[in-house]
Structure formats: C-alpha cells, structure tokens
Amino acid sequence: MMTGSHCYCFFGIISIFFALIIHTLSSTTPPHFCLHHQREALLEFRDEFPIDEFDPNPWNKSSPDCCLWKGVTCDDRSGQVISLNLADTSLNGSFKTNSSLFRLQYLRHLKLSYCDIQGEIPSSLGNLSRLTLIDLSHNFLVGEIPASIGNLKRLRHVELGANTLIGAIPSSLGKLNQLRYLSLAANELTGDIPSSLGNLSSLLELRLSINHLVGQVPASIGNLNELQAISLSQNNLNGTIPISFSNLTKLYHISLRSNNFTSTLPSDMSVFHNLEHFDVAANSFLGSFPKSLFTIPSLQVVYLDDNQFIGPIEFVNTSSSSSSSSSSPKLEILSLASNKFIGLVPESISKFLNLGEINLSGNNFNGPIPRSISKLANLQTLNLANNNLKGQVPAYLLRVTTVTLSNNFFSSYENPSEETLIEALDLNSNSFQEPFPRWICNTKGLRFLDLSNNLFNGSIPPCLEDSIASFSDLILRNNSFSGPLPDIFASATELRSLDVSRNHLEGSLPKSLVNCKALQLVNMESNRIKDVFPSWLGSLPSLHVLILRSNEFHGTLHVFIGFRSLRIIDISRNDFTGTLPPHCFSSWRGMTVLREEDDPYMADIINESVFYRNSMVIGVKGVELSFERIQQDFRAIDISGNRIHGKIPESLSFLKELHLLNLSGNVFTSHIPRSLANLTKLETLDLSRNKLSGQIPQDLGQLSSLSYMNFSSNLLKGLVPRGTQFQSQNCSSFSDNDRLFGLEEICGKIQVSNPTSQQPEQLSEPEEELFSWTAAAIAYGPGVFCGLVIGHIFTSYYHKIWSKKNTISGR
C-alpha cells in the first residue's frame, strides 16, 4: 500500500518533471497545461473504474498534458479542467461517494451518458458548484436523485434520463433558476411533481415522461413562461390540467399521453400559437372536439385518440384570415381514434393538404367517405375502422399506402383507372356483395389483403397470379367464393398466411403452394376441397398452422414427412382412411420443442393473448372449460371425424409439447398406448367413438394438466385410473364402453359398472355437442389465431410506416 502510493507519487513527479522539460523545449505545446492536482484527480477517477484505460486515447502517465486527453477540456488561460465528456465510453463501474471527480472544482460540463455507470449518484455531486451542464443519461444509475443537486445554482442543463432512479423528484430542483433543460424521463420516479418546479422561470424543456409520477400537475407549472416543450407522458398523473397551463403560450411540444387525466382541454387552444406536436392520447380527456386547436398554423401532429371526447367534428376557418383555405397547413398526423365522435367525416378535413396519416377508427362516424379526401396527395395511412360508414370505397383511396376500413358497412368499390400504390387493404367485416376486385390483379406492391367476413362471391381470379409475388397475407375467410382455388402461387415467396376458410371452394389444393417458402399459416377450413393429403407441404420450413378441417380430403395419411415447424394441425371432418404408421409423427419437431426465441412473428401473435383471455370459455355439459391458458406454446392435433383405423401410433408420445389431441370419431382399434402418459402438457384428450379396447392406462392418471378427456363409445374395460384429473370428469366421458369400473366417484353412487344404462340420453346426445366443442376449441383456436395474425401483421405494418413518420417529424 505504502510502496504503491510512493511509487505512484514518484512516477507522477518524474513525469511532471519530464513534461515541464518538454513544455519548455517545445513551442508547439498548447498554452493551457494540465494542472498537477487536477491531473492526479483525473487519474484517480480513472482508477475508480475497473478498466485499464479510457479507449481509444488513453489517459496515462506518459501522456503528461491531461488537457489533451480524450474528453478533457481545460480553460485556455487558467488550465483548469472545465469539461469532462466521456459519453459512449464504457466505465462499467459505480461512483465512489468521495470520488476524485469531485475535486475537479472548476468543472462546468460533466457528460457521462452511455457509460455503463452503475450505483448511486453521490450527493457530493452538489460540491461541483460551477457545473452548468450535467448529463448522466443512459446509464444504470439507481437510488434517489440527491437533493444536493439543488446547490448547483449555475446549472442550465440537467439530463438524468434513461436510468433506474427511484424516489421523488427533489423539490430542491426548484432552486435552479438558471435551468433551461430538465429531463428525468425513463426512470422509476414516484410521488408528485413538486410545485417548486414552477420557480424554474428560465425553463425551456421539461421531460418527465415514463416514470410513476402521481397526483395532479401543480398549478405553478403555469409560471414557466418560457416553456417550449413539456412531456409528462406515461405516468399515473390524474385530475385536471391547471387553468394556468394556458399561460404557456410558447409551447411547441405538449405530450401528456398515457396518464389518467380527466380534464377538458383549455377552451381556447389557439393561445398555443407555436404548437407543433400535441399528444394527449390514452387518457380520459372530456368534452367536445377542440376546434380552436386546428386553427394553429404551426400544428403538425395531433393525437387525441383513446379519450372520452364526444360529438361531431368540424374544421373551422381561422377568424383572422377567413380567405385562407388551410388553417393548419402543416398538419401531418391526425389521430382521433377511440373516442365518441359522431356524425359525418367533414369534407373540410381536406383543408390540411399535408396530411399523411388519418386515424378516425373506433368512433361513431357515419355516412360516406368524404370525396374531398382525394385532394390529400400525401396521404399514406387512412384508418376508418370500427365506425358506421357506408357506401362506396372510392378509387382514389387506392393511391394511399395503407387503408383500413374494417367493421363498417361499405358495400361496393370503385374500380381504379390508374395504377394503385396500395400496400395494405383491410375490408374485413363490411357489407360487400360483389365479385373479387379484379383491379387487385394489377397492383404491384400489395402485401396485405383482408376481405374476410363479407359476401364476396364468384371465383378467385387466376389473374391474381400477376400480383401475388408481393403478398405476405391473403385473407379471404368467410365469404362466398366458389370454384377452384387457382394455381397462382408459383411466385408467392413472401406469402406468410393464406386463409380462404369458410367459402365454397372446390377442386384440389394448388400445387404451386409448395413454392411459398415463407408460409406460416394455411387455413382451408369449411370448403369443398377434394384432394389427398398435401404431404408436399411438409417441405415448407416455417409452416406452423395447417387447417384442412371440414373438406372432402381423402386417402391415406401415411406420409407425414417434414412438417418440422408444425404446431397446430386440424384435418378433422374429412374422409381420410388407412392407418397411421408407427413413426409417422417423428419428424414433427415443432411439437417437441418450444422455439419461440427464433420466431418473433409467432411470439408477437401470441403475446397479444388478450383475445384468448376474453373469448375462450366453452361449456361442455356443465363443465366450464376455460382456454385462458392457450398461449404461444399451444400445440394441437385434431384428426377427428375421419375413417382412420389401426393402432394409435406410439410416436405420438414424442410430441412432448402437445396440448390437445383429438382422435375421436375414427376406427382406431387395439389398446390405448401407455406412452401417451409421456405427453405431460396434454390438456385435452379425446379418444371417443373409436373401437379401442383393453384398459385405460393407469399412467394417464398422472397427467396433471389434463383437464378434459373423453373415452366414451369404445370397447374399454377395467379400472379407470385414479387421480384428480380423472375424478373431476363428467360421467359421460366414460359412457358406452365395455366394462369400465371404478366410476363410483365420477358418476355418483348409483352407477357402478356401466354408467350408460342409467343415463341413456347421454348416448345419443354427445356426438354433435362434443364435436362442436372440439370444433370450437380447435377451430376457434386457429380462427382467433388468424384474427391475431391479421391484427398483428397489420399493426406491425402500420408501425413501420408510423415510426418512419415519427422519425421524420422529430420528437
């Protein structure tokens, strides 16, 4: 220890000495020369962190003039270190409470952002009394903001954002009357906004977003006469916006998004005459449409979405210049979604000639799309979903990149005469009773098309082949399309989902689908497709969901080769025959491992499991089956309602992640394989209506996740396994078998060996009901799944365009 510091000192003296010699000899040496004690402080500061040098320009003893070290700036005359900027240098350590940093008494700028600093901010920071700028953002700082920061009276710029600071905002900050910029955003701060912040009379920007701040915005904020930008978004602030807020007339940026404000907006918004960005989305703001807002000439971005605004909307002319045709000529984004606006979408919306994005979804707008929208040459995104709009979809909309009109009453479309630029079109759930829009064959960049839940009819035109190359999603579910699905997919290499379910399609499955290497979902459910099993789909590397349910597929199932990504397969209610070979499932890796991590698409779909949570409670004969737990890891096989015979293949037991297995309504014989007990995730097992004999394997009693099972209408005998899962089943799950016993607890004391003799009505009845249950479970699963697919792809699509927009418009 002693020798160490001696050595240190010695070296220091030697190098200073050396440096002095150089200094006297060399005329090129800069006039400022590092002061010894400051150099020592810097070297000690360096040694407080567990790295050898600050890359790439090392701070070391053989480089004597510390004023030349990277990130160090000295005063020209005095040589005092006045600025330390190590931004983007990984220090990977924490501040010492008595860090030698605090000996650099002349520091004016301290910039240590993106430095991987951990630990707390020492309160000795308050000793650096000459600081005007401090930036410790984007580190891993914890603990509270030291109150001593309020001593640094010269501070003009404080940036502590993107750390994990906790506790309250120190009210001592209110003493910094020179402060122009304050950001504490993206921390874990709690408590109120201190009213002392109202004393920061020079403040230009206040950023407190993404914390856990509560309570009301203090009225004193209205004193910040110079304020130009305020962001309080993503906190738990509530109550009303203080009246004094109207005094902040220099604001160009206001973001109050995602709080709990229950307030009206200031009655005259036009006082904010410099306003560019106004975002109050996701609160409970009340009142009528803020007309005055749209008279501000500088306005660019307005988000009012997800509030409680009511009544009609209108865009008035500015009073000052009534001849001016556009009140807010720079307006680019207008989002009024998810409010209670009513009435027509006014023609006056097209005054804002620079609009690039309009979101009016989730209101009660009615009437047609205003014709004037054709004047908006820059419009890229139009979302009118979930309203009561009706009439014709005008052709000029097809110049817009992304158009969402779902859940309205549109009934026809105008054919465009020129080439369209559209990339995404969602007409889901409207009132179209028309043939397939043939103009789609002439598009070049269409990626997403959803026509589902309409009455589109006639055939799917073969000319679609000309535009299919750009498609990622083709969703035609639940219409009245007829004829064959044309063989148009040879160039569809981007296609991720193809859903033509619930139409009247016939003929065979188009072989060109084998080229769709990106396919993740194929849904052919409820058509009249007549074909053998498409074993050639087994080569598609990402096929997760294959649904052929309720068609006229036939032939044997002996070739399940490939399908290594398959997670859900439903080939029920067809006419498949033959046996399942013993090893037929062995290549289905998707059912044996969870591979979420390498599949963000799938992860995103299932993360939005809100859909599942809300919708999947299905009653089966008094048993409430809740599908709340259906999630990303859901794996299912449904082969029910075919004519497959022979043994249940042992290789099923390799599909370790399987949640649902339905083999009911076939002609399976022999005994139930014991190895099914290896399927420890199994929640639903339906083997009913086969010719299975022997005992129910006792090991199945250990399947603790199994909440529904059905063994009825077989030739089973012997002791029903013990175990809670079995004991909680309905009696009918075991009815109509040979000689099952041990059913006293399940069926009540009266039934002993053959429950069916006591409950004859359960014999005939269950078929359709159980069937519709499995149908519901599996078909609804993927159905919802599909809904999610659609919803998700579309939103992610928006996000892309959207974030592009946002980067353009800055904040």
Backbone torsions φ then ψ of 581, nearest 5 degrees: -60, 150
Positions 228 through 247 that interact with ligand NAG (CB under 6 A): 236, 238-239, 243-244, 247
CA-CA distance, 477 to 234, in Å (whole number)?
A: 38
CA-CA distance, 55 to 415, in Å (whole number)?
A: 63
Q: Least separation, in Å, of the C-beta of 620 and ligand NAG?
A: 28
> Considering only residues 458, 462, 600, 760, which one is a binding residue for ligand NAG as defined by CB under 6 A?
458
Q: Give 25's DSSP letter.
A: H
Q: Least separation, in Å, of the C-beta of 323 and ligand NAG?
A: 6
Piece of 54-62, 405-413, 534-542, 731-739 that binds ligand NAG (CB under 6 A): 54-62
> Considering only residues 29, 60, 73, 354, which one is a binding residue for ligand NAG as defined by CB under 6 A?
60
Nearer to ligand NAG, 170 or 510 (CB): 170
Binding mask 106-145 for ligand NAG (x = CB under 6 A): ------------------x--x------------------
Q: Is 674 in the site for ligand NAG (CB under 6 A)?
A: yes
Q: Least separation, in Å, of the C-beta of 239 and ligand NAG?
A: 4
Positions 371 through 400 that interact with ligand NAG (CB under 6 A): 381, 383
Place of tokens 């009609």: 312
Nearer to ligand NAG, 291 or 645 (CB): 291
Nearer to ligand NAG, 381 or 662 (CB): 381
CA-CA distance, 133 to 83, in Å (whole number)?
A: 9
Q: Are 294 and 327 in contact (CB under 8 A)?
A: yes
Q: Is 452 in the site for ligand NAG (CB under 6 A)?
A: no
**How many CB atoms lie under 10 A from the CB of residue 495?**
25
Q: Least separation, in Å, of the C-beta of 8 and ligand NAG?
A: 13
CA-CA distance, 543 to 732, in Å (whole number)?
A: 36
Q: Which residues touch 649 (CB under 8 Å, ≥6 apart)?
A: 580, 581, 582, 583, 584, 585, 673
Q: How many CA atoms lie within 13 A of 415 on its CB side?
A: 9
Piece of 56-64, 134-142, 533-541, 635-643 that binds ligand NAG (CB under 6 A): 56-64
Q: Is 171 in the site for ligand NAG (CB under 6 A)?
A: yes
Piece of 369-377, 504-512, 584-592, 674-682 that binds ligand NAG (CB under 6 A): 674-682
Q: Is 222 in the site for ligand NAG (CB under 6 A)?
A: yes
Q: Is 319 in the site for ligand NAG (CB under 6 A)?
A: no
Q: Least separation, in Å, of the C-beta of 309 and ligand NAG?
A: 13
Q: Are 350 and 370 in contact (CB under 8 A)?
A: yes
Q: Least separation, in Å, of the C-beta of 609 and ligand NAG?
A: 17
Piece of 32-40, 214-222, 583-591, 740-748 that binds ligand NAG (CB under 6 A): 214-222
Piece of 152-160, 367-375, 594-602, 672-680 that binds ligand NAG (CB under 6 A): 672-680
Q: Which residues touch 274 (CB under 8 Å, ≥6 apart)?
A: 228, 249, 250, 251, 252, 296, 298
Q: How many CA atoms lie within 13 A of 796 on its CB side?
A: 16
The per-residue DSSP string of 457-505 comes to: EEEPPGGGGGTGGG-SEEE--SSEEEEE--S--TT-TT--EEE--SSEE
CA-CA distance, 748 to 731, in Å (whole number)?
A: 8
Q: Least separation, in Å, of the C-beta of 735 and ligand NAG?
A: 27
Place of tokens 């090129």: 28
Q: What torsion, rounded to 10 degrees, do the Cα atoms 538, 539, 540, 545 define?
A: 10
Q: Which residues touch 92 (CB under 8 Å, ≥6 apart)?
A: 49, 50, 51, 116, 118
**How many CB atoms lie under 10 A from the CB of residue 561?**
14
Positions 566 through 605 that interact with ligand NAG (CB under 6 A): none
CA-CA distance, 173 to 195, in Å (whole number)?
A: 10
> Considering only residues 320, 388, 433, 757, which one is a binding residue for ligand NAG as defined by CB under 6 A?
433
Nearer to ligand NAG, 236 or 704 (CB): 236
Q: Is 58 in the site for ligand NAG (CB under 6 A)?
A: yes
Q: Are 229 and 207 in contact (CB under 8 A)?
A: yes
Q: Least separation, in Å, of the C-beta of 433 and ligand NAG?
A: 4
Place of tokens 């060109």: 512
Number of residues that bind ligand NAG (CB under 6 A): 52
Q: Is 737 in the site for ligand NAG (CB under 6 A)?
A: no
Q: Are 143 and 170 in contact (CB under 8 A)?
A: no
**How many CB atoms lie under 10 A from the CB of residue 94?**
20
Nearer to ligand NAG, 176 or 521 (CB): 176
Nearer to ligand NAG, 95 or 471 (CB): 95
Longest dimension (CA), the chain: 114
Single-letter amino acid, residue 32: H
Closest CA to 667 of 700, 709, 715: 715
Place of tokens 């075919």: 642
Single-letter amino acid, residue 752: V
Q: Is 214 in the site for ligand NAG (CB under 6 A)?
A: yes
SS3 call for 604: helix
Closest CA to 539 of 560, 557, 562: 562
Q: Is 267 in the site for ligand NAG (CB under 6 A)?
A: no
Positions 335 through 374 that interact with ligand NAG (CB under 6 A): 337-338, 359, 361-362
Q: Least separation, in Å, of the C-beta of 54 and ligand NAG?
A: 11
Q: Least separation, in Å, of the C-beta of 556 and ligand NAG?
A: 26
Nearer to ligand NAG, 296 or 516 (CB): 296
Q: Are 332 and 354 in contact (CB under 8 A)?
A: yes
CA-CA distance, 500 to 346, in Å (whole number)?
A: 37
Positions 650 through 669 that interact with ligand NAG (CB under 6 A): 653
What is the separation of C-alpha 53 from the centre of its chain, rounded to a whole number of angstroms?
Answer: 41
Nearer to ligand NAG, 236 or 757 (CB): 236
Binding mask 288-317 for ligand NAG (x = CB under 6 A): -----------------xx----------x
Nearer to ligand NAG, 215 or 760 (CB): 215
CA-CA distance, 738 to 714, in Å (whole number)?
A: 7
Two tokens, residue 784: 């919802």
Positions 473 through 532 that interact with ligand NAG (CB under 6 A): none
Nearer to ligand NAG, 96 or 647 (CB): 96
Positions 92 through 111 that interact with ligand NAG (CB under 6 A): 92, 96, 98, 100, 102
Positions 626 through 655 that interact with ligand NAG (CB under 6 A): 653
Nearer to ligand NAG, 458 or 462 (CB): 458
SS3 letters across 495-520: CCEEECCCCEEEECCCHHHHHCCCCC
Q: Is 90 in the site for ligand NAG (CB under 6 A)?
A: yes
Q: Least separation, in Å, of the C-beta of 525 and ligand NAG?
A: 21
Q: Give 693's DSSP letter.
A: E
Q: Length of the chain, please?
A: 811
Q: Is the bond preceding 581 in cis, omega lying within 30 degrees of 0?
A: no
CA-CA distance, 666 to 641, in Å (whole number)?
A: 6
Q: Is 411 in the site for ligand NAG (CB under 6 A)?
A: no
Q: Least separation, in Å, of the C-beta of 232 and ligand NAG?
A: 12
Two tokens, residue 491: 């160039």
Q: What residue ranges bind ligand NAG (CB under 6 A)?
A: 58, 60, 62-63, 90, 92, 96, 98, 100, 102, 124, 127, 171, 174-175, 196, 199, 214-215, 222, 236, 238-239, 243-244, 247, 260, 305-306, 317, 322-323, 325, 337-338, 359, 361-362, 381, 383, 433, 457-458, 653, 674-675, 677-678, 699, 795, 798, 802
